[in-house]
Chains A and B, each alone.
Chain A
């Protein structure tokens, strides 16, 4: 293996997986209540929140990265907050990258879950309540199992999309080994250095990975639908 992938390539892969895993877990944790609110709220500004959540889908990653960099900078609101509570500066750190990824991958996690909640509708929850289930009980015993395909899609898309992140990382993370140098950056470096063989191995790996992930997703969802 190491004749094809250099130690720094392996470091980049490991870092990428850590970033994608952390981001996906955090997004599922915070994205689920947000998706619930978007599916059930009748607040007037729900439309605005929906639009904000979808924004990373169409915004160039450099725009997103630029504003994040400004916000996290020593004079930005986020930067001042983190230095005040003793976390130091976020740009060019793994933590900064996680925050960037959370925003960048937000729609890929929130939208499938929100759509699953909408598809389930209010009835199963009402039935659960009339049978004595507390709201949290009803969520875990009824809503979550029914929304499982949505959660599966959200997990896979959130993970895969974070793995493929480039523009935002370049803007706020730079290129620090074991801290912010993810696979996409590593490929860019190889190409810059005209190391096409190395670039091929990483790029091909990413291609195969993405295809397999999507294939697995569709297979699982088909199997669920047949039940």
Chain B
């Protein structure tokens, strides 16, 4: 079903304050994050994909089916595109209860086979106890859970999510993120997730589109984009990398878990997952230090052999940003210029990366 359903688009729209020009081909499965500052056109681009912007022109193709091609005057109206859209603010129908909201999309599904059942969606989102309530009696987080379940029940071939967590409090957000992390595996369809939260993106996205002033300025695997020093992401306060790792060993009495990735191993606080199960690891640039020899007298437990790829300027003049190659993986280290001088760091040098903090998802 999803083998060739990659999404290709080439779209243009002229708004009074912004010109949108965006073309990309996205993976057939997994989460693609659409990232950019407010007002960069992320929501508008998402709406164009859904066919909600009447004056948007260009081409949209999902796998073998053409949704829009203005050179051939072809344009499927929104209700004929097999997609689902989760809006930024809760957009439940206020005259229907939760059950009726969920059924709305299910009964109108635009595909011959219904692969996601009512009870699947209710279970995944944990909303079984809310079915008879009206939207006015739900919290912000509950509403957005229902909205996500309703979107899934429409049996989409493309799922569009526009900052679905922006109106949800921190606790609710974490719980919904846990659910969203499972979606790619369960759905096997492309998901586009608009966000300006680095945390959400590193937890969810395999692929990243970077948008600025109506244009896509970068497009690639999440870690490649996060570590490209010519792009703004590597220079933000939250700069860092995401590595795909798997659980190798649990060290029970030290309360540690050993993870392996494409360049070595990491020891982290116990991860409650079985051996061989994958884990996504995030390492912030500010949590990586550099040493010339393997430290034997340091409290940092994770030391990795690394080669310096390049050294880049940082917006903070006291700092510079060092890209390190560790096996096949790339790490970012934010160190002071002072240390760089003292250690005489140069591209190509073999060093040790000291990793002080690892966040496991």
A residues contacting B by CB (< 8 A) are 123-124, 126-135, 137-138, 141-142, 145-146, 227
| Contact segment of B91-99, B187-195, B269-277 | B91-99
B278 interface residue per 8 A CB criterion? no
| Residues 54-71 of chain B, each 1 if its beta carbon lies under 8 Å from chain A, else 0 | 000000000000000000
Q: Could you say which residues of chain A place their CB within 8 Å of the CB of B50?
A: 130
Known: A132-B79, A135-B79. A227 touches B91 (CB 8 A): no
Chain B residues 218-240 with CB under 8 Å of chain A are none
In the complex the two chains form, is B93's CB within 8 Å of A127's CB? yes
| Contact segment of B105-113, B208-216, B306-314, B336-344 | B105-113
B334 interface residue per 8 A CB criterion? no
In the complex the two chains form, is B91's CB within 8 Å of A129's CB? no
In the complex the two chains form, is B79's CB within 8 Å of A124's CB? no
B48 interface residue per 8 A CB criterion? no
In the complex the two chains form, is A133's CB within 8 Å of B93's CB? no
- Which of A130, A134, A135, A141 has the largest count of B CB atoms less than 10 A from its CB? A130
B residues contacting A by CB (< 8 A) are 50-52, 77-79, 83-85, 87, 91, 93-95, 104-105, 108-110, 134, 136, 150-151, 154
Q: Could you say which residues of chain A place their CB within 8 Å of the CB of B51?
A: 129
- Which of B78, B87, B150 has the largest count of A CB atoms less than 10 A from its CB? B78
In angstroms, how far is the closest chain A Cβ from the Cβ of B357?
40
Known: A145-B95, A146-B95. A129 touches B79 (CB 8 A): yes
In the complex, what residue of chain A is closest to B91 when comparing beta carbons?
A: A127
In the complex the two chains form, is B134's CB within 8 Å of A129's CB? no
- 13 CB < 8 A contacts A-B: A123-B91, A126-B52, A128-B79, A130-B50, A130-B83, A130-B85, A131-B105, A131-B151, A132-B79, A132-B110, A132-B154, A141-B104, A142-B93
In the complex the two chains form, is B93's CB within 8 Å of A124's CB? yes
Bound: A133/B150 CA distance, A: 13
In the complex the two chains form, is B154's CB within 8 Å of A131's CB? yes
In the complex the two chains form, is A146's CB within 8 Å of B52's CB? no
Known: A126-B52, A227-B134. A132 touches B91 (CB 8 A): no
In the complex the two chains form, is A133's CB within 8 Å of B52's CB? no
Known: A123-B87, A227-B134. A131 touches B94 (CB 8 A): no
Q: Could you say which residues of chain A place their CB within 8 Å of the CB of B87?
A: 123, 126-127
- Which of A127, A133, A135, A137 has the largest count of B CB atoms less than 10 A from its CB? A127
Q: Could you say which residues of chain A place their CB within 8 Å of the CB of B109?
A: 132
In angstroms, how far is the closest chain A Cβ from the Cβ of B121?
13
Q: Could you say which residues of chain B place their CB within 8 Å of the CB of A129?
A: 51-52, 77-79
Known: A135-B79, A141-B104, A227-B134. A130 touches B84 (CB 8 A): yes
Q: Could you say which residues of chain A place their CB within 8 Å of the CB of B104?
A: 128, 131, 133, 141
In angstroms, how far is the closest chain A Cβ from the Cβ of B152?
11
Q: Could you say which residues of chain A place their CB within 8 Å of the CB of B136?
A: 227
Q: Could you say which residues of chain A place their CB within 8 Å of the CB of B105?
A: 131-132
Bound: A128/B150 CA distance, A: 11
User: Contacts A129-B52, A132-B79, A132-B110 given; 8 further ones with Cβ under 8 A?
Assistant: A123-B91, A124-B91, A126-B85, A127-B93, A131-B84, A131-B150, A132-B105, A132-B154
Bound: A134/B151 CA distance, A: 16
In angstroms, how far is the closest chain B Cβ from the Cβ of A224?
10
Bound: A129/B51 CA distance, A: 10
Bound: A23/B165 CA distance, A: 49
In the complex, what residue of chain B is closest to A224 when comparing beta carbons?
A: B95
Bound: A208/B218 CA distance, A: 72
In the complex, what residue of chain A is closest to B105 when comparing beta carbons?
A: A131
Q: Could you say which residues of chain A place their CB within 8 Å of the CB of B108?
A: 131-133, 137
In angstroms, how far is the closest chain A Cβ from the Cβ of B70?
19
In angstroms, how far is the closest chain A Cβ from the Cβ of B132?
14
Bound: A130/B52 CA distance, A: 9
Q: Which of A123, A126, A142, A146 contacts B78 (CB 8 A)?
A: A126
Q: Could you say which residues of chain B place their CB within 8 Å of the CB of A227?
A: 134, 136
